[in-house]
Amino acid sequence: GAVVSQHPSWVICKSGTSVKIECRSLDFQATTMFWYRQFPKQSLMLMATSNEGSKATYEQGVEKDKFLINHASLTLSTLTVTSAHPEDSSFYICSASRGGPGTDTQYFGPGTRLTVL
């Protein structure tokens, strides 16, 4: 149980285009979903936390107008990288949690590798 899928697995796009990444919890309801980013040889960095039905909470330094997060249901969260630029090229990983005290286990999706030309 606790499977999280992410689509697409990888995407190559031109500078200036927008890219949407989907994160789905397949066999459980995810009260909270997280979006991380990992640059080569760097640690995963939390970008934002999203709770179903409410606005996402962004970490310091992450532009909320550039990285649009929508958590419309208990099984789906999307991250849209708007007007992508080469510096946005990275490995984007989502995770999902059932939420609540004592349930902080996060289940990670397989990640999306974004390359912006």
Footprint on this chain of another protein (rule: CB under 8 A)? 31-32, 34, 36, 41-46, 49, 59, 91, 93, 95, 97-106, 108-111, 113
Q: Which residues, 6 or more positions from 84, have their beta carbon under 8 angstroms from its beta carbon?
A: 13, 15, 16, 17, 18, 19, 114, 116
Q: How far is the CB of 29 from another protein (least distance, A)?
A: 13
One-letter amino acid at 84 equals A
- Give the nearer residue to another protein in terms of CB position, either 16 or 104: 104
User: Which residue in 56, 94, 64 sits closest to 82, CA to CA?
Assistant: 64
